[in-house]
């Protein structure tokens, strides 16, 4: 079967991508240093334990498996942390991507799917962001991802490394069968934090900022179900397999939910109250980020059919109750 090298394939999104790749008849080869990923999540194909900052380890993985394409998920990805240690984000994310792109070209692997982010657009309030919106990141995380997009454009021009870039918004939910799911230590994403507060794993949720210019004062984000998201990545792979040119796509629903709206929805799904406290804003957080995803729908045939808040929370809650990889 055709092999796909999946960097970060033991992490949240990468593990779901591996499940869908295997379902579609591919063999996902996980390349992960397990710094934030979980060996238990690498269950859909072989695991290569390695670091993207070590070019020799990447070359060895390409030589052993000869993948037909790369799906690149591995990255440092915490906005707040990137404001505190920006150099770490620039070194790790960009050098890792450069090593990976160089290794792919050297191995004759000319298809590259990249996990980018809406954080490349920065803080553009009141605007539905499409692929032609100004990219003006306001934190090192978004800036490093924007730089990798430029790097891939250079590699396409110089070496014909065809790429599909996905800029996505807040990812939520879990595999409906609860084989894999979201399990970070420490956890930083809103929905699992809400669920932790609901079941008492943490005393309460902290709302960071209640004075934003939104109807209820809390940040607004566009949420997409992780299974919808990774199915778009497989469509992106097929796009490249069909000989299409490099392309960037937003992945979101076009609808935004505030922090308080997410809390209310979680309470309704679980029939439990969400204990919370209010805290100050975090540096680098945008007020409102909402996607325009017509290009993915029109050109890839993508449909975010699971990306309703009740289903995302319901699937996340089912996974949450398994205890995750710490069970």
Q: Is the pLDDT of residue 232 over 70?
A: yes
CATH homologous superfamily of 190-221+254-326: UDP-galactose 4-epimerase, domain 1 (3.90.25.10)
Catalytic residues, by residue number, are 141
Q: Is the pLDDT of residue 274 over 80?
A: yes
Rounded to the nearest integer, the mean pLDDT of the chain is 93
Q: Which of 4-8, 97-101, 319-323 has the lowest mean pLDDT?
A: 319-323
pLDDT value at position 293?
A: 67
Would strands 220-225 and 256-258 be described as parallel, antiparallel, or unpaired?
antiparallel
Q: Is the pLDDT of residue 273 over 80?
A: yes
DSSP code of residue 181: -
Instruction: Give the CA count within 13 Å in the CB-facing half-sphere of 215.
Output: 7
Q: Is the pLDDT of residue 123 over 80?
A: no
pLDDT value at position 216?
A: 96
Beta-carbon count within 10 A of 208 CB: 17
Whole-number Å distance between alpha carbons of 317 and 20: 21
Please say whether the beta carbons of 109 and 68 come within 8 A: yes
Q: How far is CA 263 from the centre of its chain?
A: 21
Closest CA to 168 of 94, 88, 241, 228: 228
Q: Tell me where in the chain the CATH 3.40.50.720 domain(s) lie.
A: 3-172+222-251
Find the mean pLDDT for residues 211-233: 95
Please say whether the beta carbons of 1 and 22 come within 8 A: no
* Residue 288 structure tokens: 């409102």
pLDDT value at position 180?
A: 96
- % of the chain exceeding 70 in pLDDT: 98
Q: Is the pLDDT of residue 18 over 80?
A: yes
Query: Computed over its alpha carbons, how large is the radius of gyration of the chain?
Result: 19
Confidence band of 284 (pLDDT split at 50, 70, 90): low
> Which of helix, strand or coil describes residue 312?
helix
Please say whether the beta carbons of 36 and 92 come within 8 A: no
Whole-number Å distance between alpha carbons of 230 and 114: 12
Confidence band of 125 (pLDDT split at 50, 70, 90): low
Q: Tell me where in the chain the CATH 3.90.25.10 domain(s) lie.
A: 190-221+254-326
Q: How far is CA 81 from the centre of its chain?
A: 16
pLDDT value at position 184?
A: 79
* Residue 311 structure tokens: 């289903």
Please say whether the beta carbons of 152 and 165 come within 8 A: yes
Q: Which of 89-103, 218-232, 289-303 has the lowest mean pLDDT?
A: 289-303
Cβ-in-10-Å burial (0-12, 13-18, 19+) of 156 comes to middle
Confidence band of 307 (pLDDT split at 50, 70, 90): very high
Whole-number Å distance between alpha carbons of 139 and 91: 14
- Supply the pTM of this predicted model: 0.93
- What fold is seen in the domain 3-172+222-251? Rossmann fold (3.40.50)
Please say whether the beta carbons of 32 and 42 come within 8 A: yes
E strand or H helix at 166 = strand 162-168
pLDDT tens column, 25-52: 999 999 999 998 999 999 999 999 999 9
Find the mean pLDDT for residues 259-281: 94
Q: How far is CA 143 from the centre of its chain?
A: 16
């Amino acid at each position: 079967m055709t092999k796909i090298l999946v960097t970060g394939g033991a992490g949240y999104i990468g593990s779901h991508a591996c499940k869908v790749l295997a379902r579609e008849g591919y063999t996902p080869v996980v390349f992960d240093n397990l710094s934030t990923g979980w060996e238990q999540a690498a269950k859909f194909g072989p695991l290569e334990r390695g670091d993207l900052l070590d070019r020799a380890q990447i070359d060895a993985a390409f030589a052993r498996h000869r993948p037909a394409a790369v799906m690149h998920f591995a990255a440092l990805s915490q906005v707040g942390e990137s404001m505190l240690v920006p150099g770490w984000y620039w070194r790790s994310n960009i050098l890792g991507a450069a090593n990976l792109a160089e290794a792919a070209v050297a191995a004759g692997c000319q298809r590259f799917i990249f996990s980018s982010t809406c954080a490349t657009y920065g803080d553009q309030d009141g605007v539905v962001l499409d692929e032609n919106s100004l990219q003006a990141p306001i934190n090192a995380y978004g800036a490093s991802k924007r730089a990798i997009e430029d790097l891939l454009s250079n590699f396409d021009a110089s070496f014909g490394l065809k790429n599909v870039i996905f800029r996505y918004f807040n990812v939520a939910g879990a595999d409906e069968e609860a084989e894999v799911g979201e399990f970070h230590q420490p956890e930083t994403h809103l929905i699992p934090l809400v669920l932790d507060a609901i079941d008492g794993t943490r005393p309460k949720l902290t709302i960071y900022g209640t004075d934003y210019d939104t109807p209820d004062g809390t940040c607004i984000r566009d949420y997409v179900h992780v299974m919808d998201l990774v199915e778009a990545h497989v469509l992106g792979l097929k796009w490249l397999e069909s000989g299409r040119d490099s392309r960037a796509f937003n992945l979101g629903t076009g609808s935004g939910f505030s922090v308080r709206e997410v809390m209310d929805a979680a309470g309704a799904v679980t029939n439990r109250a969400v204990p919370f406290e209010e805290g100050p804003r975090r540096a680098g957080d945008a007020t409102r980020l909402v996607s325009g995803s017509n290009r993915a729908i029109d050109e890839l045939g993508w449909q975010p059919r699971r990306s309703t808040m009740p289903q995302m929370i319901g699937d996340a809650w089912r996974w949450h109750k398994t205890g995750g990889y710490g069970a």
